[in-house]
Chains A and B, each alone.
Chain A
Amino acid sequence: MKRNKSALAGPTLLSANLPSLSQFGVVSAKNPRFIPGSSPTARRWRDLQAIFFCWVAVSLISLSLSLVLLQTLRRLLEIRVAGSDPRLAAMGILFTRMLSSIFGNREARILVLGLDNAGKTTILYRLQMGEVVSTIPTIGFNVETVQYNNIKLQVWDLGGQTSIRPYWRCYFPNTQAIIYVVDSSDTDRLMIAKEEFHAILEEDELKGSVVLIYANKQDLPGAIDDAAITQALELHKIKNRQWAIFKTSAIKGEGLFEGLDWLSNTLKSGGG
């Protein structure tokens, strides 16, 4: 009988009450001398029954209450981080994110990715300082903070050479957005750019991040436009996250802030 009770107690959320219950544990049914009619034992049995039913009722009520609570919580979370998997396991992260989005400084971590010589470093410094700096191929990363539209963007520019692309993934956790830079004049390597791009999108750690594509180097002759880049990168395969593509020229400073406008708006309205 005692065992039966603990099995019942298992699923409920009040299982912490179990020890206090087990002090009534010497249940009369187990007692060989138990006779239903005899008055002291019967009274004790009735009391036990009453306590048991009360306890069951209380645990049922609290169970349903907690379900309702969970649902409201889920609603709240979905508003804040629309689009992420509402699995309970991820609740901790979601909750922190929700709190930080309500209170205080909005910060976002952004990765700038793309093949080598796409113009990632030039874009980063154009955004940060507003001027064109002469760059050398990045081995490793550059990181700068850009304040824009009340959002603090922590922008990571990672080196794009073939040999160091595998290390991109080390930077994936906690990333809210990806800026993918494509050299629009380098039509020969669009195929590789596409493959790298879709490999990034499949990463679990980047599931909730939004994607901004810069069709860069529009100032060069022979650069193809945003629609052609969209086709070449097969952007239409992205169905579960927001994306946008902008024609840019890092040298002339065109298009970069339009893209950042979109990015900050999207991040503010919840991303995903």
Chain B
Amino acid sequence: MFSLFYGLWKYVFSKIEFHVLILGVHKAGKTSLLEKLKAIYLNSEGLPPDRIVPTVGLNIGRIEVSNAKLVLWDLGGQVGLRTIWEKYYEEAHAIVYMIDASCPSSFEDSKSALEKVLRHDDSRGAPLLILANKQDLPDAVSSEELARYLDLKELGERLYLFEAVSAHDGMGIKYAIEWLVDAMERSKRTQILRTRAGASAAGNM
């Protein structure tokens, strides 16, 4: 009886789960974004910005947006740690790439790292959300300028969006995440991942 109700309950309330990878170079604000998202969507406090230490490893956040569940993977952005990024592409439904828009000296590094991400086979077709972060700072460039600077050629058929946000005060984040959920629901990659997950689940049985 318990399992019947548990099953029913799960059926009624369970949602699709998406894996989202948050990438970007060191100090772009990836963990701040993660904490802000937790604050917005979970109504929990999140870590205050001054308590955030550089990530060397993986931070995980689970949030619910409209009718989707997002599992956010926030990876460290230091040069030595970027080698592990690619190990996560295969299972990611979408990629969020963060750039510190107030720090033009980091653009070159950001650009080359992003191109490397896009060239990788395992990330093919994953919707890409590029966030020009730190808009609360006075000298931050706009998302259009950033798009012009990055001048990405490898986007192809990929769904993508440039968006100006501030992980500090939350500007633009809600819109960007809603776009991301919508893009993931539409993307072919989601279906491919789902069939692959189904096949492996069947294989395990």
Question: Interface residues, chain A, CB within 8 Å of chain B?
Answer: 10-11, 67, 70-71, 74, 78-79, 82-83, 87-88, 213, 225-227, 230-231, 235-246, 258, 261-262, 265-266, 269-270, 272
Contact = CB atoms under 8 A, between A and B. Distances in A.
B147 interface: no
B38 interface: yes
A236 B9 contact: no
A242 B57 contact: yes
Nearest to B51: A265
A236 B82 CA distance: 11
Contacts of B60: 83, 240-242, 272
A213 B76 CA distance: 14
A206 to B, nearest CB: 16
A262 B12 CA distance: 37
Contact of B58 (A74, A82, A83, A244): A244
Contacts of B55: 244
A246 B56 contact: yes
B62 A82 contact: yes
Nearest to B45: A269
A227 B47 contact: no
Nearest to B87: A236
Given A11-B1, A230-B84, A244 B56 contact: yes
A70 B13 CA distance: 11
A10 to B, nearest CB: 7
Interface string B54-96: 0111111110000000000100000011011001100100000
A243 B58 contact: yes
A256 to B, nearest CB: 13
Contacts of A213: 57
Given A83-B62, A269-B35, 13 more contacts: A11-B1, A82-B61, A88-B2, A227-B81, A230-B81, A231-B84, A242-B58, A242-B59, A242-B60, A244-B56, A244-B57, A245-B56, A272-B60
B46 interface: yes
A270 B1 CA distance: 32
Nearest to A243: B57
A231 B83 contact: yes
15 contacts: A67-B9, A70-B9, A79-B42, A82-B62, A88-B6, A227-B81, A230-B57, A236-B84, A238-B58, A242-B60, A244-B56, A265-B52, A269-B35, A269-B44, A269-B47
A111 B84 CA distance: 26
A225 B5 CA distance: 51
A74 B56 CA distance: 31
Contacts of B57: 213, 230, 235, 242-245
Nearest to A211: B57
B201 interface: no
Contacts of B91: 239
A113 B145 CA distance: 50
A222 to B, nearest CB: 17
Contacts of B5: 11
A80 to B, nearest CB: 9
The residue in B53, B59, B60 that gathers the most chain A C-beta atoms within 10 A of its C-beta is: B60
**10 closest residue pairs by CB, A with B:** A227-B80, A236-B87, A244-B57, A236-B84, A243-B57, A82-B62, A242-B60, A243-B58, A245-B56, A244-B56
B38 A269 contact: yes
Interface in B18-63: 35, 38, 42-44, 46-47, 51-53, 55-62
A62 B46 CA distance: 36
Given A235-B57, A242-B60, A245-B56, A265 B47 contact: yes
Contacts of B61: 82
Contacts of B87: 236-237
A265 B6 contact: no
B116 to A, nearest CB: 16
A261 B52 CA distance: 9
A78 B58 contact: no
Contacts of B59: 242, 266
A44 B39 CA distance: 60
A97 B52 CA distance: 24
